[in-house]
Structure 1
């Protein structure tokens, strides 16, 4: 729903430099996993308290910088159509709730339900977030369609028993669409 690619990369580049790491190595893996997973990957000797400090500092940086955050192509139209059709929809994200709200707000999107990393014990690629999203929407997971642009997200949705739609260059979904305009065209024709 939101293209925050530039903001994500700016924040992780700064984090990598602050910690004497190669930004290109961090940028190669930072999209999709939760922040703690990325921190642990590059700083494996940190204790849990230190990881939490890194995550909180990173969250502050990301929430403060929404420059370059904008709706993904077709996101506003898809959200409006879903609302017009009274179809339940949610955003399930590995971002913390505060960051998700900041970025969605910067893009002009207000989902009826947000399932954030704060709501689950295990982030993507674990299916917990998608299962919770389905419960909050009052639908069976097998009746839900998940639109994802990351491998961890597609893995999570598939494990939850949902039909997966890959967008934004992802190619391992049940259905592959270029962007959310294509998703809307498919849904409107169904």
Structure 2
């Protein structure tokens, strides 16, 4: 019998680490440097987007740079903040990740941030956190497309339907559901709706691999 979950797939920004405010600062600084305006509400509209999509929005707000340059500038600014201020972990996230690793269940980091940033975040975790990383510069279709989650499951050699995916954004949760995973939404910057297609946990604080097992077995029974 296949163990459940067969793997756990973690989103990064807003799920494992509270870097969304760092992205908003980077976006605001860049738009303002070109004479435009950028508000907190503007930043919320980009939560969970692929970086190319976000860069195109910034272009429409007056940033006269090509997509690749905008992405690099945003990523550079966020990595600077990580180095200067540190990594703001989401409550319970690192503890849950440790619980999964201690249970020897495969894990993946599935993020629309670029690999260099994903590897930077992973390097700050005081244990070996992931068997694979699927980053935004390694997929053709960003979230909410399921490609990133399907790629992670394939790399780990598991069926997506037997893997748990944990997300904080609307687009990310849509990607996890579209890939057929056992999707968990943990709201952070934006509210997430209740749905029969996914499970909402208000926080990861206090959650362990036993909670993931119970959910995966329940979902398998429902299917």
Would the TM-score normalized by the shorter structure come out above 0.5? Answer: yes
How far off is 1:178 after superposition?
A: 1.3
> For 1:103 and 1:26, how far apart are their aligned partners in 2?
25
Residue 177 in structure 1 maps to residue 201 in structure 2: yes
Task: Kindly indicate whether structure 1 or structure 2 has the higher relative contact order, using CA contacts under 8 Å at least 6 residues apart.
Answer: 2
**Mapping 1:36-185, distance limit 5 Å:** 36-44=52-60, 50-66=66-82, 67=85, 69-106=87-124, 108=126, 110-169=129-188, 170-172=191-193, 174-181=198-205, 183-184=207-208
TM-score, L = length of structure 1: 0.87
Secondary structure of 2:109 counterpart: strand
Deviates more, 1:14-23 or 1:112-121: 14-23
1:8 Cα deviation after fit: 1.6
Given that residues 169 and 192 in structure 2 are in contact (C-alpha distance below 8 angstroms), is that contact kept between their aligned partners in structure 1? no
1:186 alignment counterpart = 211
Q: How far apart, CA to CA, are the structure 1 residues paired with 2:86 and 2:108?
A: 23
Residue aligning to 2:17: 2
> Higher helix proportion, which one?
1
Structure 1 contact 12–26 (Cα < 8 Å) conserved:
no
- Structure 2 unmatched runs, 5+: 1-15, 216-223
Of stretches 160-169 and 176-185 in structure 1, the one that deviates more from structure 2 is 176-185
- 2:205 is paired with a residue whose SS is helix
Q: Work out whether residues 117 and 123 of structure 1, in 8 Å CA contact, stay in contact via their aligned partners in 2.
A: yes
Contact 1:3/1:72, CA 8 A, preserved across alignment: yes
Q: How has the CA–CA distance of structure 1 residues 158 and 137 changed in structure 2, closer, same or farther, with 3 Å as cutoff?
A: same
- Contact 2:31–2:61 (CA<8 Å) still a contact in 1? no
Separation of aligned partners in 2, 1:164 and 1:97: 23
Q: Name the CA distance, whole Å, in 2 between partners of 1:93 and 1:4.
A: 12
Distance in 1, Cα, partners of 2:172 & 2:136? 12
Task: Mark the runs of 5 or more structure 1 residues left unpaired by the alignment.
Answer: none
CA distance in 1, matches of 2:67, 2:61: 10
Secondary structure in structure 2 of the residue aligned to 1:187: helix
Q: Match for residue 219 of structure 2?
A: none
- Give the TM-score of the pair, scaled to structure 2: 0.75
* Contact 1:12–1:30, Cα closer than 8 Å, also in 2: no
* Residue matched to 2:38: 23
Q: CA RMSD in A?
A: 2.3
SS in 1 for 2:171: helix
